[in-house]
Amino acid sequence: MRQGHGRPAIYGNHPTGMNGPRKVHIKSFGCQMNVYDSHRMADTLAPEGFAETAAPEDADLVILNTCHIREKAAEKVYSELGRIRVLKQAAAREGRRVVIAVAGCVAQAEGEEIIRRAPAVDLVVGPQSYHRLPALLARVARGEAVVDTEFPVEDKFDVLAPPSRAATRARGVSAFVTVQEGCDKFCTFCVVPYTRGAEVSRPVAQVVAEVARLADAGVREVTLIGQNVNAYHGDGPDGRPWTLGRLLERIAEVPGIARLRYTTSHPCDMEASLIAAHRELPSLMPYLHLPVQSGSDRVLAAMNRRHTRADYLDTIARMQAARPDIAFSSDFIVGFPGEREQDFDTTLALVDEIGYASAFSFKYSPRPGTPAAEMAEQVPDALKSERLYRLQAAIDRNQAAFNARCLGHSFDVLFEKPGRHPGQLVGRSPYLQPVQVMAAPSMIGEIATVTITEISANSLFGTLLAPRARAQTAMLAEIGG
């Protein structure tokens, strides 16, 4: 086994006596932050001799990077662990040891309970400890069952290995970069402040260096991510905290980066410099995920969202004034404790008033330890399901109307990979819609102007106009509005 940077080999001798590279299979559940974290875990394990595999049955190490946001997401982990345990037993019969690790927010929230419930698990590691993976796995190799859910004093971003050029290229032309983690907002339904901890922002120089490395490996689009990304306040090179607006302005200068996005934003943190960035930066895409959760002031107050429906509409109006072609998406929770029919009706009305291009909607899921789980007037599940159905119908109708408005218009598409049919590529519009176009494979990574000629439920189809040397969105205002 190859050893990284003179550190001890994680397992000592390979149990099969083979010296080939080890394989790690990482499965991500939940949000983009977990996808990013999974990549960083793979990058940290690469110098230790681990190559990534998409097949869990080939892996020596299986990591489940878990999500705790809703009960369903957390329960999925245990059914997945049942399947992996069978693979582990089969490998043991062949004399091969498979190590199972649970990472992410379920690991943070449930800690040792995971090993009690699923004894095949060897390692439980919280989101703030990924940089310690090699050392933790070395302890596992010595026969310990290891649980690390601390919030360590050292900054994991200072220690986590950067991706190799090859790994970055393999991950495509669009990349996520975590700039902020944790949350201090304490919405009454949400586990994030408990599982991810207090809000922390990465310094500007560290983020810019990571973006420059990505650009150098061929990445064209960067999405800055954080649980509450627009609360970003990382230290700038001037020693002062910078806003997300200023950070975007700086990143827009990185050569090769043609498109910028950020997610997820809280409506209360859409401050002036961020709105100005939308006005001034052509590479900042005119599409904003701005979760509102509910259209009812009564429910918003019970959720501790700290804004009203009118505040939200005012923010939307200011964004539209800054960037007339902007479109919006949102998250909604239905069946929050105490939500009445008239509250729900105001949510439905808000969907139509904004005309969202897309949105996610969820049934309220009581999370242990959060205030809302203890509230009176919990809504019966059947009623939640019925409201979810009606909300999704309203969202679908608005999304279809938005897509229909794109027909006949031209806009820039970043080509990402081969499309569904031979000769086709699929790319993303400024509004994140997948667009299928007949184009040469050499155009992957390029931005070209496409005229939309056809739409289906989930995709747009278009024809190529002229290739563009640089990113520039050219949507007509009526599409966004």
C-alpha closest to that of 415 among 207, 174, 212, 195: 174
**3-class secondary-structure state, position 192:** helix
* Bond before 264 cis per omega within 30 degrees: yes
What is the chain's Cα-based Rg? Answer: 23
Give alpha helix (H) positions in 244-364. 244-251, 272-280, 297-302, 309-322, 341-354
Cβ closest to ligand SAM, residue 180 vs residue 399 = 180
With CB under 6 A as the contact rule, which of the stretches 1-9, 183-191, 380-388, 422-430 interacts with ligand SF4?
Answer: 183-191
Closest CB to ligand SF4 among 68 and 278? 68
How far, in Å, CA of 182 to CA of 103, rounded? Answer: 16
At 368, give phi and psi (nearest 5°): -55, 135
Instruction: Between 362 and 411, name the residue whose CB sits nearer to ligand SAM.
Output: 362
Q: Which of 266, 323, 363, 428 contacts ligand SF4 by CB under 6 A?
A: 266
User: Which x/- pattern, by CB under 6 A, does the window 104-133 give for ligand SAM?
Assistant: ------------------------------
Q: How many CB atoms are located within 10 Å of the residue 2 CB?
A: 13
Query: Shortest distance, CB of residue 193 to ligand SAM, whole angstroms?
Result: 10
Burial of 442 per CB tally in 10 Å (0-12, 13-18, 19+): exposed
Residues 191-250 that bind ligand SF4 (CB under 6 A): 192-193, 227-228
Helix/strand/coil percentages in the chain, nearest 5: 40, 20, 40
Could you tell me which stretch among 76-84, 146-154, 181-189, 356-364 binds ligand SF4 (CB under 6 A)? 181-189
364 binds, among ligand SF4, ligand SAM, none (CB under 5 to 8 A by kind): ligand SAM
190 counts as binding ligand SF4 under rule CB under 6 A? yes
Q: How far apart are CA 480 and CA 454, in angstroms?
A: 18
Binding ligand SAM (rule: CB under 6 A), the pick from 11, 130, 287, 362 is 362
370 binds ligand SF4 (CB under 6 A): no
The binding track of 208-227 with respect to ligand SAM, each residue x by CB under 6 A or -, is: -------------------x
CA distances from 259 to 156, 285, 418 (A): 27, 7, 20
Residues in 288-307 that interact with ligand SAM by CB under 6 A: 291, 293
DSSP structure string for 416-429: EEE-SSTTEEEEE-
Task: List, in order, residues 6 or more apart from 349 with CB less than 8 Å away.
Answer: 295
Neighbours of 194 (CB within 10 A): 18
Site residues for ligand SAM, window 314-353 (CB under 6 A)? 331, 333
d(CA 20, CA 313): 58
187 binds ligand SF4 (CB under 6 A): yes
Query: Is the Cβ of residue 10 or residue 109 nearer to ligand SAM in the bound state?
Result: 109
Nearer to ligand SAM, 264 or 273 (CB): 264
302 counts as binding ligand SF4 under rule CB under 6 A: no
181 touches 221 (CB < 8 A): no
For residue 188, state whether it binds ligand SAM (rule: CB under 6 A).
no
**Shortest CB 369 distance to ligand SAM, Å:** 11
Closest to ligand SF4 by CB, 131 or 367: 367
Only one of the segments 150-158, 187-195, 207-215, 427-435 lies at the binding site for ligand SAM (rule: CB under 6 A); that segment is 187-195
Q: How far is the CB of 373 from ligand SAM (least distance, A)?
A: 8
Query: Segment contacting ligand SAM (CB under 6 A): 54-62, 170-178, 362-370, 455-463?
Result: 362-370
**Part of the chain binding ligand SAM (CB under 6 A), chosen from 20-28, 146-154, 185-193, 397-405:** 185-193
Q: Is 367 in the site for ligand SAM (CB under 6 A)?
A: yes
The side-by-side arrangement of strands in the sheet containing 259-263 is 174-178, 221-225, 259-263
Q: Which of 139, 185, 233, 298 binds ligand SF4 (CB under 6 A)?
A: 185
Element (H, E) at 123: strand 123-125
295 contacts 316 by C-beta, under 8 angstroms: no
Q: Any alpha helices (H) in 46-155, and if so which ranges?
A: 71-93, 104-110, 112-117, 133-141
31 binds ligand SAM, rule: CB under 6 A: yes
Pick the stretch among 148-156, 158-166, 358-366, 403-411 that binds ligand SAM (CB under 6 A). Answer: 358-366
Name residues whose C-beta falls within 8 Å of residue 107's C-beta, 6 or more positions apart in sequence: 66, 114, 124, 125, 126, 127, 149
Closest approach, Cβ 305 to ligand SF4, in A, equals 7
Name the residues that contact ligand SAM, by CB under 6 A. Answer: 31, 69-70, 189-190, 192, 227-228, 264, 266, 291, 293, 331, 333, 362, 364-365, 367
Name the residues that contact ligand SF4, by CB under 6 A. Answer: 183, 185-187, 190, 192-193, 227-228, 266
